[in-house]
Amino acid sequence: MEKSGKEIAKYGITFGTALSIAISWSVNKSVLWAILHGFLSWFYVIWHVITR
């Protein structure tokens, strides 16, 4: 079964959000930072990879 572009994008956004929240929580231990980084999603993940 082939997935549509919308389904793939939705999965990527969901995964990126969860990943950014997990990284933020492990680094900062702050709910507020985790929420903010969740909104930034893949931008925060990429920034974290570049700066670490």
Task: Give pLDDT tens digits for 11-33.
Answer: 767 888 999 999 999 999 999 99
Question: What is the pLDDT, as a whole number, of residue 14?
Answer: 85
Query: Which residue has tokens 């570049």?
Result: 50
**Spatial separation of the C-alpha atoms in residues 13 and 40, rounded to whole Å:** 10
Q: Which residue range(s) make up the domain with 26?
A: 5-51
| Domain total in the chain | 1
Question: What is the pLDDT, as a whole number, of residue 31?
Answer: 95
Q: What percent of the chain has pLDDT over 90?
A: 63
- Which uninterrupted H or E stretch holds 38? helix 31-40
Question: What is the pLDDT, as a whole number, of residue 4?
Answer: 74
**Spatial separation of the C-alpha atoms in residues 40 and 17, rounded to whole Å:** 8
pTM comes to 0.73
User: Which residues, 6 or more positions from 20, have their beta carbon under 8 angstroms from its beta carbon?
Assistant: 37, 38, 40, 41, 42, 44, 45, 48
User: 48 or 2: which carries more pLDDT confidence?
Assistant: 48
